[in-house]
Structures are given as structure tokens and as C-alpha cells.
A and B are shown apart, each in its own frame.
Chain A
């Protein structure tokens, strides 16, 4: 009896460990079907709102900077609002990037900044699930029972200078991004996790205008 109890407890510990680590990703069994589903989902995603937590890891310094905020997407417009530990707002609307921290507002024309343009395109492609069709990256897919992992390796020079790769983990239930990992060449990375996601919820246009 004693041995059975020990084995049972041991088994529970193994399960607990596995679930805390996340399940491993393996080669996709039906990649064509999933690619179609992702593309279909992309067409149907008009808006998305979510909370996010961003973690910036500076590897050499063993430093982790964590921030939280809210994310809104509507018809190609993006609003990224950081609420803790600082207030910072970034809105991408109609080819312009507007940034506001405290009372100071700065605006930049995205067309004059290639890198910004490329990063914006990644965000929108990821949100809408168009990343698979991106000409700026090679994209490989793997899966586990609940998620799809997209690994994007940059092809374009500007992006290659900044990123080693970008990994996006999609929830199989609604094919929205759960996690985005931007891996830099020097070993640093930025991890963004999304929660409380609402797909195609009503979002006022006024959110994409800086007041």
C-alpha cells in the first residue's frame, strides 16, 4: 500500500511539473488545414482588445523589466497603453505613430522610418493571422494539444539586424496570440503575454486618437 501511495504521489508530481513547464511543441500533423483556419480567422478579425504583460530580459545584466497595460486593435489601427510601472501610450493610425508619456506627445511618420513600418506590419500581421503570408519572414509551425507555435525568421536586412527570430504562440480555440517572444541577437528578449482577450468586440474609434 505504501508503495502504491508513493507511486501515486510521484505521478501527481510529474503531472504538476509538466503542466507548470508547458507542453512541448512537435511537428504539425495537419499543417494545411491549420494554415487555412488561420487565414480564415484573419479575414474575420476586425477588432481585438486584450490586457498584456511585457517582460524585457537583459540577459547579460540578469535584469528583467516588467510592465503591464492594454492592447486594442481595430481595422489596422493599434493602441498600446502601458499603465504600470509607467504611463506610456503608443497609437498607430493612418501611417503615423503617436507616442505620449506624461504630457509630452511626439508623432512620427511611419513611411519615413523603415524599421517602424516593418514592426507595425508584424504586429498587425500577427493580430490578424497574416504572418504566415509575410514575405519578410520564413515561418514554421509546430503544435501541442492547445497551442500553435509560429517561428518567424527574418529575411529582410533591417529586421535581421534587430531580431534573431520572433515566436508567436496561438491559442487553438480562437487562433489569437497568447504569447509573443522577440529574440534579439545578443541574447536579450521581449516577451509579451496577452490575457482577457475579446475578439471583434466594439471598440470606439476615439481610442486611436491622442487627446
Chain B
């Protein structure tokens, strides 16, 4: 091959690939600004009737989500009879167990709960490597995490509301969170499934509260 031709081909392919990347970035930037549900604070303060099923065990109670300030959230779970199971404090960078009942105070359990609440309470804060997946009915954004895992956010095509969050590897979804918004800013229903663990959490927003 003529040397100039080689150089030409090399330069062309560089231009071609760099333009591909820049087009991808441009389209992602458009999605970021045009799909706010993925990036807004997902949940305002709220109380949820909660049912937890883990293998053959069933628990129920009330989950309280509270914004302490712009970055700090508290999550408290109490039974209907007023018995507190856990009280966690989360910021985008930190997780603190303010209180947890002895039987739940296991590293693995806390890790699962932290991950779930983090996905519900906080928008993704690291946009590096995010990818938009083609989908006929939804806007789908896939964020890479550690250990080749991904957190994927599904909004409706018009980006009116966040509908689903999944977490897992390329081939296997470990956690799926389905969200349903009502007339208020907060989610009316949240359904969390840990497919491999056999754990589900069903949350319904409490509307009729007495003082």
C-alpha cells in the first residue's frame, strides 16, 4: 500500500471514531438534560406501609423516609406496634446505622438495605461511562458500577417519571425496583425484588395520616 494512503486511512479512521464518540456524548448530554426524573431527588419525605417477605417469613410495618437537609436522608422502619427495627442515615457518600435490632445487624443485610435505599433516595452522581440503551417504549440509562455491575434507570419515553431501577451484571439482574408515581411528587408505590435472595419489599405510601 502507498505510504500516503496508509496515513490517509489512519487519519480517516481516527476522525471517524472520534466523531462517533463525540456524537455519543452529545446525545447523552441531551438525555441528561432532557430526562430529569433520573437525576432529580427521587423521593421526598414520606411514610410507607411496608410488607417484607423473605423466604417463608413475612414482616410488616412502616418505613419513614425523611430529608434531614439537602444531602442527608434518614430511613426508619418500625412495626405497627411501634417496635423499631432499624434507623439509618445516608448521604451520597456515607451510610450510618443509627440503630439496628440485633437480628438484622449483619454486614450482608445492611449492605443489601443500603444499596436499595441509595437507589431509591439518591440520583446517580457519576455520569462517567453512562450509556443510553435503545428501547422502543422507554428511555433507558445504564450506569457502570464496581465489579462489572450496572445500575440501569428506566423512564417513560417522554421522561415524565422514573419507572424502574435495576442493579446487576451484564447478564443477570440482582435487584429490580419498580416505581409508580401518583399525583404527588413522591412515589405512591415502590416494589423491590431481590431475585436471587428471595426477598421482596412492597411499599405503599400512607395517605390518610392522623395527628
Chain A interfacial positions (CB closer than 8 Å to B): 54, 56, 58, 60-61, 63-68, 80, 82, 84-86, 88, 90, 99, 101, 104, 106, 161, 182, 184, 186, 188, 190
Q: Is the CB of A58 within 8 A of B76?
A: yes
Question: What's the A-B contact tally at a CB cutoff of 8 Å?
Answer: 66
Partner of A104, one of B51, B68, B80, B84: B51
B51 touches A85 (CB 8 A): no
B74 touches A188 (CB 8 A): no
When distances are taken between beta carbons in the complex, the residues of chain B under 8 Å from A86 are 49, 62, 80, 206
Known: A186-B99, A188-B84. A101 touches B51 (CB 8 A): yes
Per-position 1/0 for B70-91, Cβ under 8 A of A: 0000101010111010010000
Is B98 touching A65 in the complex (CB atoms < 8 A)?
Answer: no
* Cβ A106 vs Cβ B208 within 8 A: no
Nearest CB in chain A: distance from B101 CB, A: 9
Please judge, given known A-B contacts A60-B98, A61-B76, whether A80 and B81 are in contact too, CB under 8 Å. yes
- A63 and B82 contacting across the interface, CB-CB below 8 Å: no
Q: For residue B188, give the distance in angstroms from its CB to the closest CB of chain A.
A: 15
A106 touches B58 (CB 8 A): yes
CB proximity of A184 to chain B, nearest CB, Å: 7
Sample of 12 more A-B contacts, CB < 8 Å, known A85-B209, A88-B60, A90-B81: A56-B82, A58-B76, A61-B68, A63-B76, A65-B64, A65-B209, A66-B210, A82-B80, A84-B208, A104-B60, A182-B82, A186-B98
Of residues 97 to 117 in B, which have CB atoms within 8 Å of A's CB atoms? Answer: 98-99, 102
Listed from nearest, the 4 A-B pairs whose CB atoms lie closest are A190-B82, A88-B80, A56-B82, A66-B210
Q: Which residues of B contact A188 (CB under 8 A)?
A: 84
Give bound CA distance, A106 to B208, whole Å: 25
The answer to whether B74 and A65 have CB atoms under 8 Å apart is: no
CB distance from A177 to the nearest CB of B (A): 16
Q: Known: A63-B64, A84-B208. Contact between A184 and B84, CB under 8 A?
A: yes
Report the nearest B residue to A66, measured CB to CB.
Answer: B210
Main secondary structure on A side of the interface with B: strand
Q: How far is the CB of A163 from chain B (nearest CB, A)?
A: 11
Residue of A64, A65, A104, A182 near B58 (CB, 8 A) is A104
Chain A residue contacts of B208, Cβ below 8 A = 84-85
| Centre residue among A63, A104, A186 by max chain B CB count within 10 A | A63
- Compute how far the CA of A58 lies from the CA of B64 in the bound complex, rounded to whole angstroms: 10
Quote the shortest CB–CB distance from B70 to chain A (angstroms). 16
Most buried by B among A86, A104, A190: A86
**Residue in B closest to A105 when the chains form the complex, CB atoms:** B58
Residues in chain B near residue A80, CB distance under 8 A: 81
Chain B contacts for A88, CB-based, 8 A: 60, 80-81
Q: Does B66 contact A (CB under 8 A)?
A: yes
Task: Let me know if B60 and A101 touch, CB within 8 A.
Answer: yes
Interfacial chain B residues near A68, Cβ < 8 Å? 210
Q: Does B47 contact A (CB under 8 A)?
A: yes
Can you name 23 A-B pairs with beta carbons within 8 Å? A54-B81, A58-B64, A60-B87, A60-B98, A61-B76, A65-B47, A65-B78, A65-B82, A66-B209, A67-B80, A68-B210, A84-B208, A84-B210, A85-B210, A86-B49, A88-B60, A88-B81, A90-B80, A90-B81, A99-B60, A101-B51, A104-B58, A186-B99
